[in-house]
Structure 1
Amino acid sequence: MKKLILMLMLFAPIATFAQKFGHVNAQAVMESLPEFIKARAEVEGQAKVYDNQLKEMQTEIQKKAEEYDKTQATMNDTKRKETEATLQDLYQKFQQAQQDNAQAIQKLQNEKLQPIVTKLQNAIKNVGKAGGYVYIMDLSSGIPYISDTLSKDVTADVKAELNKLK
C-alpha cells in the first residue's frame, strides 16, 4: 500500500505538469480571409496609382533633361542656371513624392491590415484558452522545428473561431 501511495505521489507531478502545445500557420489563415484579400487589393491598387504618378514625373524629368542637353550649348548663363535649378527642383519633388508615397502605402497597409491581424490574434487566443494550450506557435514565423506528435495543428480551430467572430 505504501508503495502504491509513493508511486502515485511520484507520478502525480508529471501528470499535473503535462502541457498542451499547438501550432498554426497564421500567414496561411490570414491570406485565406476575404477581408485580407480585399485589403491587399486596395493597397496594391493604391500602390499602382502612386507608381503611375511617379512614372509620369520621371518621364517629365527625362524630357526636360533631354531638352536641356540639346539646347545647353545655345543658352546664356542665366537661362542655363535657371533650367538646371528647374531640373534640380523637379528631381527633388520626385524624390519627395517617392518618400511620401512609401509612407502613405505603409499607413494604408497598417490601417487596413491591423484590424485583421487583431482579429486573427484574438481567434488564436480564444482557441488557446478553450483548448487549454500553454503555447500556440506560429509556423509562418520561421520556427525551425515543431513536433507533430507533441504539438497539435490548430489551424482549422483558428479558422472556425474566425468564422464565429464575423
Structure 2
Amino acid sequence: MKKVILMALLLVPMSIFAQKFGHFDSSAIIQLMPEYTTAQTEIQQLQAQYENDLKRMQDELKKKSEEYEKEKANLLDNVRQRRETELQDLYNRIQQSYQDNQKSLQETSQQKMQAISDKMLGVIKQIGTEGGYVYIMDVSAGIPYISTTLSTDVTADIKQKLGLK
C-alpha cells in the first residue's frame, strides 16, 4: 500500500509537467481575416455617411445663421425670438446627431468584432481540444510573460483552420 501511495506521489508531479500550454497572437490573425477587412470597410462607409450628414446639417445651420444676422436688425421681437429658437434647435439636433452617430459606430464596431472573435474562439477551442492543451493564451492581451520554450505557438494552426495565409 505504501508503494502505491509513494508511486502516486511521484507520478503526480510528472503529470503536471506533461501538460501542454499554447499561445497565439490574435491581432496578427484578425487582421488577416476577410471578415475584418469587410467590417473595417463597412464601418468606414458608415462613418463617411455620418460625416456627410453632419456636414450638411452644419452647412444648413451656417446658412440660416448668416441669413438671420443680415435680417436681425429689421425683425420684430417675436420673429427674432422664433428664429433664434429655430437656430438653437438646429444646433441641438446637430449635437444629438453627432452623439447618436458615435454611439452607433461604436455599437456596430463591437458587433462586427464580436462575430470575428467568436469565430476565432471556436477555432482556438477546437485546436485546444485536438491538441490536448491545458491553456491557450493570447499574447496580444497584455500577458506580462509567456515562456516560448514551455508554450507552443499555435498562431499558424489557427490561421490554417481559418483558411488564412
Q: Which position in structure 2 is the counterpart of 1:59?
A: 59
Distance 1:10 1:108 in 2: 54
Q: How does 1:16-165 map onto structure 2 within 5 Å?
A: 16-18=15-17, 19-163=19-163
* Identical positions, percent: 47
- Any unmatched runs of 5+ in structure 1? none
CA RMSD of aligned residues (A): 2.4
- Structure 1 residue 110: Cα displacement: 4.1
Distance 1:28 1:67 in 2: 54
- Structure 1 residue 151: Cα displacement: 1.6
Matched letter for residue 108 of structure 2: L
Distance 1:141 1:70 in 2: 58
Q: Please say if residues 23 and 155 of structure 1, whose CA atoms lie closer than 8 Å, have aligned partners that are also in contact.
A: yes
The alignment's TM-score, normalised by the length of structure 2, stands at 0.85
Deviations 1:55-100 (A, max 9, x none): 1111211222233233323322112101111111111211222233
Q: Please say if residues 126 and 161 of structure 1, whose CA atoms lie closer than 8 Å, have aligned partners that are also in contact.
A: no
The alignment's TM-score, normalised by the length of structure 1, stands at 0.84
> Could you say what secondary structure the match of 1:135 adopts?
strand
> Could you say what secondary structure the match of 2:98 adopts?
helix
Count how many residue pairs are aligned between Structure 1 and Structure 2.
161
- Any unmatched runs of 5+ in structure 2? none
